[in-house]
Amino acid sequence: MVAPARGFTLLEIMVVLVLVGILSSFALLSVGGGPRDRLAEEAQRLAAVIELHQQEAILSGEPRGVQFTRAGYAILRQDEKRQWQPPAADSALIEHRLPEGLGLALWVEGRPAPLNRPDERAKPVPQVLLLASGEATEFVAVLGLADDREPDAPRYRVASDAMGRLTAGAATR
């Protein structure tokens, strides 16, 4: 008696190819997008954090401040003596450092604002105020790739007008 031929059928090969395709698409999604996607995510995150603390300022009746640096931002609150205090807790909703390779620029009321690293000994000073009335300092924060100076490089902006209305999206020149 002759042994039957061994091998894979066309259907088995197709099933394996479909499974490999599904697994590779999951792998690509879990790795995340490129720099443009990271910029968009960080801009949305910044807008969400500012909006959250803006609402908290309204509900608590206490103003909040946002201190920006080139590498991130922190939410400040005033103590009993009306002095701005850095965040007391390690919370992603209070202090955030931008991922490696991303940078931030800031304009307050139409002028470039300095983004120095906060001195441990100096009192923190926010560049942006979120008032209990819902109003805010007019600002534009632009997120971009730290080492990319090209005019067509991807940039995302988060902006607020004096009434506290936030906008976020791709920056155009």
Does position 90 have pLDDT exceeding 60, yes or no? Answer: no
Name the one residue in this structure whose structure tokens are 């590498």.
Answer: 71
Closest C-alpha to 138, from 159, 114, 117:
159
Please report which confidence band the pLDDT of residue 19 belongs to, taking 50, 70 and 90 as the band edges: confident
E-strand stretches of the chain:
64-69, 72-78, 84-85, 95-97, 102-108, 111-112, 128-130, 139-145, 155-160, 166-170
Task: Name the 3-class secondary structure at 54.
Answer: helix
Does position 18 have pLDDT exceeding 90, yes or no? Answer: no
Does position 3 have pLDDT exceeding 90, yes or no? Answer: no
pTM for the whole structure: 0.75
Does position 115 have pLDDT exceeding 70, yes or no? Answer: yes
| Per-domain boundaries in the chain | 35-170
Closest C-alpha to 98, from 64, 25, 49:
49
The residue with greater pLDDT, 116 or 67, is 67
- Burial of residue 41 (CB within 10 Å: 0-12, 13-18, 19+) is middle
DSSP class of residue 114 equals -
Look at phi and psi of residue 134 and say left if phi exceeds 0, alpha if psi is from -120 to 50, else beta: left
Does position 91 have pLDDT exceeding 90, yes or no? Answer: no
Q: Which fold has domain 35-170?
A: minor pseudopilin epsh fold (3.55.40)
Does position 51 have pLDDT exceeding 60, yes or no? Answer: yes
**Least reliable range by pLDDT among 38-42, 93-97, 160-164:** 93-97
